[in-house]
Amino acid sequence: MGLHFPETRLRELAQKMSALAREAGFEDLDNYLFQLMAAPLSQEQLKALSGALTIGETYFLRDPKSYRVLERQVLPALIDARRRGGKTLKIWSAGCATGEEPYSIAIILSRLLQDLPDWKITLLGTDINEEALERAQRGVYGKWSFRNAPEWLMEYFTPLGEGQFEVAPRIRQMVHFSQMNLAADAGNALTGGVDIIFCRNVMLYFHAELIEKTVARFHAALKQGGWLFVGPTEVDHQKLRGFNCHYFDGALLLRKGEPRRKTPQVAAPAVAPQAPVAGAVPAGASPAGHPPSSGASLLQADQRPESVALARAAYHAGEYHEAARLALSAPHLPESLALAARCYANLGRYQEAREQCEKALLLERLDVRTHYLLSMILEQLGDDAGAEASLKRALYLDHDYLLAYFALGNLCRKRGEFRDAAQSFANALRLLQRHDPAEVLPEAEGITAGMLTQLIKGMIAGLNRR
């Protein structure tokens, strides 16, 4: 299925596989795993595995920024062009889970097209999880699928009672669902000649080779000038071929067939960390990077020196020496100094990283993320007391800074202060409840709220055994 479980998720994988083993009548997990690996998987086994290991939970209009760009920029231009050359549209929602995404797209189309019956629209939703697709085809959803949804959305649903709502028939008939394994299936006629592909929060769970293969497949499926919607941390845009990156107010879109630019048209998004979760960096690893300081980020793209954009691009490409050099050409900007600090930290030059971090804080003392970054650097330098002080300053400035609680818990655990560690972890878990389990946490590239929740619960269990 192409799913990749890094070491931080092995406990989660073991829990899920143990449950499947019990359902299959095995008391011993190893025996169950040996049976699975002894022969090609049956359809029944694949169905059980995909149901247990994929995250099939989503909700309507999830990630409003992407839908806003779709409704206000991408679709209007496409619709205008097609009115002059045949009223056809083809859209693919890859990894659609229980169907909320393709139905959301169908609703947006119905709002934009007053002459909808005159159009030939192909709207395909695919997923590997059969049970999720069965729910999608039924088109019946509970209240949880409408969290954060605008009031007008309910105009497209019929109440069934007991908190259940059914998609209006005119919306349901716009969407076709089909099972597909992105890691193995070659596709079909429905996945060729596509205008728009949505594949968000799916490739987060793929290994790098499969991400590259999947993106290449999407490229082949798209028409010239077609759009691919992905999560901001799912692909390395420096390695893309045949796509040009566009950033629209936090939404990342890839467009087929345009010449690549060295830098984006608008300001690049906040720099994501190298390590999965800042605060959980293994010994000898570099601390994670973080977005620029809040004060400097208020500047518009054209007000910053060009070197700042170039420094960010170099950082994304892993060219930390060059990124630090470019960042330090604008020492009056706290975001540049913070970026230089991240570069030096990733190079293992922690003392220089500390110096640049402290200079950034002299210019912007209230920047929570820079305090947090300094704590990670100080911990690498062996100054646990300084790291704790920086974390507490970050939490004083932002009482809901999730990763700071997690890092503080790790620090207390390392020092044997298990009660304080448990309290910090509990605070992190409380804040994680505000996030969808499948949501990728800001400032933690690739790590979802569900992953971090499982990691913290495992740490708490370890504390309880002491």
Rounded Cα–Cα distance for residues 273 and 308 (Å): 18
Predicted pLDDT at 304 = 53
pLDDT at res. 300: 37
According to DSSP, the β-strands at 175-179 and 88-94 are unpaired
Output the domain CATH number for residue 143. 3.40.50.150
Statement to judge: residues 232 and 362 lie in one domain: no
Mean pLDDT (the chain) is: 82
One domain, residues 136 and 216: yes
Dihedral sign computed on CA atoms, order 368, 372, 373, 378: positive
**Pairing of the two strands 88-94 and 194-198:** parallel
Determine, yes or no, domain membership for 17: yes
pLDDT in tens, 416-460: 888 899 999 999 999 999 888 878 777 664 577 888 888 888 888
Count of structural domains, the chain: 3
109 and 88 within one domain: yes
**Using CA atoms, how far apart are residues 137 and 97, in angstroms rounded to an integer?**
11
Task: Grade residue 377 by pLDDT with cuts at 50, 70 and 90.
Answer: very high
Q: 286 lies in a domain?
A: no
Residue 107 inside a domain? The answer is yes
> For the segment 137-185, what is each residue's pLDDT rounded down to a tens digit?
999 999 889 987 888 999 999 999 888 999 999 999 999 999 998 887 6
Domain membership flag for residue 288:
no
Amino acid at 340: A
Q: 371 in a domain, yes or no?
A: yes
Same domain for 39 and 130, yes or no, is: no
Are residue 38 and residue 105 in the same domain, yes or no?
A: no
CA distance 253 to 18: 39
In the 3-class helix/strand/coil scheme, how is 192-212 assigned residue by residue?
CCEEEEECCCCHHHECHHHHH
Averaged pLDDT for residues 304-330: 81
Structure confidence at residue 55 (pLDDT): 66
Model pLDDT, residue 266: 30
Do 429 and 400 share a domain, yes or no? yes
CA dist 193 and 218 (Å) reads 10
Residue 15 lies in a domain: yes
Residue 178 is predicted with a pLDDT of 93
Together in a domain, 102 and 200: yes
CATH of the domain at 355: 1.25.40.10
pLDDT one-digit tens code per residue, 78-112: 999 898 878 999 999 999 999 999 999 999 999 99
For the cut 50, the answer to whether the pLDDT of residue 268 exceeds it is: no
The residues pairing with 91 across neighbouring beta strands, listed in sequence order, are 123, 196
228 and 317 in a single domain? The answer is no
- pLDDT for 237: 61
d(CA 35, CA 41): 10
Domain span at residue 37?
7-53
Q: In what order do the strands lie in the sheet with 164-167?
A: 140-142, 164-167, 157-161
- Token pair for residue 33? 């795993």
Each residue's pLDDT tens digit, 56-74: 667 899 888 899 999 999 9
C-alpha pair distances (Å), 190 with each of 204, 218, 422: 24, 13, 51
Residues 90 and 223: their CA atoms lie apart, in Å, by 10
pLDDT category, 301, cuts 50, 70, 90? very low
Residues 6+ positions from 325 with CB-CB distance below 8 Å? none
Looking at this protein, which amino acid is placed at residue 106? A
pLDDT level of residue 296 (50, 70, 90 thresholds): very low
Quick one: average pLDDT of 338-356?
89
Both 394 and 459 in a single domain? yes
Residue 277 belongs to a domain: no
Alpha carbons 171 and 116: distance in angstroms, whole number:
11
- Tokens for 410, please give them: 């790790």
Three-class secondary structure of residue 42 per DSSP: coil
Cβ proximity of 146 and 59 under 8 Å: yes
Claim to verify: residue 30 and residue 101 sit in the same structural domain: no
In a domain, 278, yes or no: no
The confidence score (pLDDT) of residue 280 equals 33
Same domain, 11 and 103: no
Q: Where are the alpha helices (DSSP H) in 27-124?
A: 29-38, 43-53, 64-69, 75-83, 100-112
31 & 76 share domain: no
Count Cβ atoms within 10 A of the Cβ of residue 280 and give its class: 0-12 exposed, 13-18 middle, 19 or more buried.
Answer: buried
Identify the domain boundary among 228, 256, 284.
Answer: 256
